[in-house]
Amino acid sequence: MSNEIRVRFAPSPTGYLHVGSLRTALYNYLYAKKTGGKFILRIEDTDQSRYVDGAVENLISTLKTMGLNYDEGPIINGDFGPYYQSERTEIYQRYVDELIEKGKAYRCFCTEKDLVRMRQERKTRGLDTRYNGQCLSLGKQEINDNLKKGKKYVIRLKIPKEGEITFYDIVREKVTFPWDMVDDQILIKSDGFPTYHLANVIDDHLMQISHVIRGEEWLSSVPKHLFLYEAFGWKPPKMCHLPLLLNADKSKLSKRQGDVAVEDFLKKGYLPETLLNFVALLGWHTPGNEELFTLQELEKAFSLKRINKSGSVFDLEKLNWMNGHYLRELDLKVIGQYAKKYFQQAGYKIENEQHYNELVEIARKRITTLEEVTEFAKPFFSKLVFTKENIEILSSTTSQTLFEYWIDKMEENQEMSETLINKLLKQSAQELGIKGKNLYPPLRLALYGSEHGPELPTIMDILGKEKVITRLGDCLK
């Protein structure tokens, strides 16, 4: 084992990347960057029944979108591959044979029917429903007979029945589990594939993982893992279990109460910069409790010692506030690039890059997510629809006189500029005697579809001279 810090993010390809998994990936990435270590991506795909086609590609793509580039893993590779557990099954088999020889694991020939009966019996007696260790008592001859008959079996860990285990966790500090709370975990399933628990320990050792940073739900598995490390004579990595992510009602964050996939939030127009900043604070804080960080700033500030013990509430209001901040503060070109796909999805053709950027600049001060940008932009790209009340304003004598005046003046001038627009507004008041609510609201309504909105010079500049004349003409009786 080297002294290098090596951490891993090891998801199962069972669907989209959960925001909780994003936090786990982020904390591993940040710790590697802070310490000059390596961030490894490993795909734990041994449960073939839960494998989802395209999940690995989506996972890698999402990590790339979020800026969390790994040092070793699929595509990139390294000295400790392969990085798909399904390609490492021969390795696991060698080690599980060693466990059986050492008396640390055993074959279990119980059928699913047997297991259902056992669980029911234990439940009736008021006990937990874990495996009762029935196959522990099988003799060598009986085991050989079962193997000759071709009976299916799994391999289970032989956990001590008495005493307790104590270990140190970076977040939880001293943790103790009685052995009678730990079950004889299946290590190899009847299909020959290893379970998470065996593959995880072997791979972490062979890949020289120095710190295991993962969700709190895995804390109860640590006794099994440490038992395996001891059985193999290996030094275990340091453990760090992250607090749960909670809904507003303090229940565990789940799909039942809304979106939890990173992909969902990105589609809705939350920025990658926002999501990284937001999830970083779900369980971690700085001494000064600052809230706004770039990824580079997080790399410098992050510390495992400042991870909270208690669960963190996924506060959608705070996420919206933070996204609004990034929409306003990031470089306009960055926001413009992010926004383009929403314009394309809406069928809005961008013909003038300058006018597009001007529109995005106005929109980003008024929206919470990029998904809303097309609704804001709609009046510039779609035919305006007027209510009965709108039509009454547009068809009034003063409005009709105003529109005719502006069409004539626009056609007289080759170029439309802010100077010209302000001049015509002034002349409209002086020459036509049209002022205040009879001047600005009708023009804005005719050009933008609402009496309220951006400044008139801005609206006209984005529309362009021809469209301004056309829209004013459409409003003439």
- Euclidean distance between CA atoms 296 and 208, whole angstroms: 26
DSSP per-residue letters across 361-427: HHHTTT-SSGGGHHHHHHHHHS-----HHHHHHHTSHHHHHHHHHHHHHHHH-SS--HHHHHHHHHH
Cis ω on the peptide bond leading into residue 82 (within 30° of 0)? yes
Q: Yes or no: say if 14 and 50 are a contact pair by the CB < 8 Å rule.
A: yes
- How is the chain split among helix, strand and coil, in percent rounded to 5? 55, 10, 35
One-letter amino acid at 401 equals: T
Q: Yes or no: say if 129 and 157 are a contact pair by the CB < 8 Å rule.
A: no
- Euclidean distance between CA atoms 422 and 140, whole angstroms: 98
Among residues 123, 255, 333, 435, which one is catalytic? 255
Q: Phi first, then psi: what are they for 186, rounded to 5°?
A: -70, 130
Task: Look up 255 and say whether it is catalytic.
Answer: yes
Q: Phi first, then psi: what are they for 165, rounded to 5°?
A: -125, 135
Contact partners, residue 66, CB within 8 Å, separation at least 6: 22, 26, 262, 272, 275, 276
Closest of 22, 73, 19 to residue 45, by C-alpha: 73
Helices then strands (H, E): number in the chain?
A: 20, 11
Q: Yes or no: say if 26 and 56 are a contact pair by the CB < 8 Å rule.
A: no
- Collapsing DSSP to helix, strand or coil, 451 comes out as coil
Beta bridge partners of 84: 43
CA 55 to chain CA centroid, nearest Å: 14
Handedness of CA 423, 429, 434, 435 (dihedral sign): positive
Please work out, in degrees rounded to the nearest 5, the angle formed at the alpha carbon of residue 314 by the alpha carbons of 313 and 318.
110
Q: What is the dihedral of CA 42, 43, 44, 46, to 10 degrees?
A: -130
Per residue in 175-207, is it b (16+ CB within 10 Å) or e — as a string? bebeeeebbbbbbbbeeebbbbbbbbbbbbbeb
Residue 77 CB-half CA count within 13 A = 4
Give me the active site residues, please.
Answer: 255
